[in-house]
Structure 1
Amino acid sequence: MSTQKTLVLTRPDESSAQFLAQVEARLGDKVCAVLSPVLRIVPTTGWPDLSAFDVVIATSVHAIQGSLEGKPVFCVGERTAEAAAKAGGEVRHCALDAAALITWIRSQPNPGRTVYLRGSHVATDIPAALRALSIESSAIHTYRQEELPLTEAASTALEGEGSTILPLFSPRSARLIGRAIVQPGQRLQVIAISDAVADAWQDVTGGSCDVINQPTGDAMVGRIVAALRH
């Protein structure tokens, strides 16, 4: 074992497993990891008819639960873009985050009728932002995020005396984890994907976070590997 640090991953099962594999591949060694999803992804019943829309918007791979055949798609994140292309969509743009996507759309000709495929909880109301730009936009829920409790192993790692690394990928997960623990351990290193995520963690726990330079999975992997090696 190259490190005595524990990595706690709280994303949904498949996402955590894939992320751990990326970290171990970059590190070149196995990692002491605790997987404790705080959210479970549940697709909604029935895939919507998208024929009335000119452009589809997706900010999460979980939103794409059916065919996007022939539809132009604006995405956030490379994994979302890959899923959209696999579902038959024509990816026209891939932004780092929702704010960057809205800024890019503002600089383009009016795309027509847009639909945002989203979960039951989102950090940014994209349709409202687009309607403010006189772009016709609506949202369809294609999945929901159900809360799950932390496992005992995760709580022990996050609250304990050992050296632990906790990556945070959304304000909601930051709040859920912060409320689930008594208090962060003194050797807990929290790494947030954005300032909004760091703010949510601080609001709940009073603790600080490292914030990565770019809101991407690759940047998070690099930051965690650096922390494991330090």
Structure 2
Amino acid sequence: MRIWVSRPEPGAGRTGRRLAGLGHVPLVAPVLAVRPTGAALPAEPPDALLVTSANAVEALAATAGAGALRGLPVFAVGSRTAALAEAAGFGPIYDAGGDAGDLARLVAARLARGRRLLHVAGAERKAEPGASLARAGYALATLVAYAAERVPALPEAVAAALAAGQLDAALHYSRRSAAVAYDRAEAAGHGGAFRALKHYCLSADVAVPLEAGGIVAHFVAVRPREEDLLAGLAEAF
């Protein structure tokens, strides 16, 4: 299949290479660009780190003074995030292997209530797992380490491919990137071609903006893992 990968880099390129290895033809054209914020670490050191994306790990590694955090427990939402944290020298690592709910439960099982958590996150983020952990009695601080900026217009390569009928599907890794992809396609006059694609979503949450526009996701991964999403390409085609 000819598949549009709209997630931001560096994940987009990695996904494109995996798709090519599976025999697909990827069109890597992100609709979000991740930028570090340069935010400073809080003055009070945490007892553990909470990371909910690979982008958070990469931004944290580039943050001034991050070396002082090495040796602290790191609670990571999934295997990719956990592996990047370990490769960056952080840890010990605890891998929730799932979603925000799994991550909150892992923290509760491993860390005493009342401990200080530093959530390394993006400028736009969901309430969970922070809300659940705060209610459970953890002291939660947030380091806004990166921001994902929308591209101003539909990437030219995608516009050309949609106009020529040269795309079969799109992969969606976040609710925000799915929403921006849909919005930019509509604004460029290619909304009909976009809606006609097969849409593969990492989770039910990711599919929400598509469904709000009347688009039925062709495949939604049961677990928010890339392995499950890519396996769906064969199962749902």
Structure 1 length-normalised TM: 0.85
The answer to whether the 8 Å contact 1:58/1:73 transfers is yes
1:37 to 23, 30, 43: 30
Q: Does 1:105 align with 2:101?
A: no
Distance 1:159 1:226, change over 3 A: farther
Alignment match of 1:150 (pick from 148, 154, 161): 154
The residue aligned with 2:88 is 87
Q: Which residue of 2 aligns with 1:164?
A: 168
Q: Which ranges of structure 1 fall in alignment gaps of 5 or more residues?
A: none
Alpha-carbon distance between aligned partners in 1 of 2:223 and 2:179, rounded to the nearest angstrom? 21
Letter in 1 for 2:18: Q
Query: Where has structure 1 moved over 6 Å in runs of 4 or more?
Result: none
User: What is the deviation of 1:180?
Assistant: 1.4
- Which deviates the most, 95-104 or 113-122? 95-104
Q: Deviations over 1:175-194 (max 9, x none)?
A: 11121123243641001111
Distance 2:143 2:198 in 1: 36
Question: Which residue of 73, 98, 104 corresponds with 1:96?
Answer: 98
Secondary structure class of the residue paired with 2:14: helix
1:217 has 2:226 as partner? yes
CA deviation vs aligned residue, 1:7-62 (integer Å, no higher than 9, x gap) = 1011123211111112222x2x3x32222111111112255258610010001111
| Matching residue of 2:130 | 127
Secondary structure (helix, strand or coil) at the match of 1:181 reads helix
Instruction: For 1:169, give the aligned amino acid.
Output: Y
Contact 1:54/1:72 (CA < 8 Å) preserved in 2?
yes
Give the residue type in structure 1 aligned to 2:16: L
Percent identity between the two aligned chains? 23
Task: Identify the residue that residue 69 of structure 1 maps to in structure 2.
Answer: 70
- The answer as to whether partners of 1:23 and 1:224 remain within 8 angstroms in 2 is no
- What is the CA-CA distance between 1:153 and the residue it aligns to? 2.4
Q: CA RMSD in A?
A: 2.2
Equivalent residues of 1:56, 1:116 under 8 A apart: yes
| 3-state DSSP of counterpart to 2:138 | coil
Partner SS, residue 13 of structure 1: coil
Assess, with a 3 A threshold, how the Cα gap between structure 1 residues 147 and 193 changes in structure 2: closer, same or farther.
same
Mapped pair 1:8 → 2:4: yes
**Is structure 2 residue 216 aligned with structure 1 residue 208?**
yes
Name the structure 1 match of 2:16: 20
Deviations 1:84-140 (A, max 9, x none): 112222102333111221233344452511010001111334322211111111211
Using the TM superposition, name which of 97-106 and 138-147 deviates more. 97-106
Cα 1:150–1:163 shift into 2, 3 Å: closer
- Residue type at the aligned position of 2:34: I
Pairs aligned (count): 220
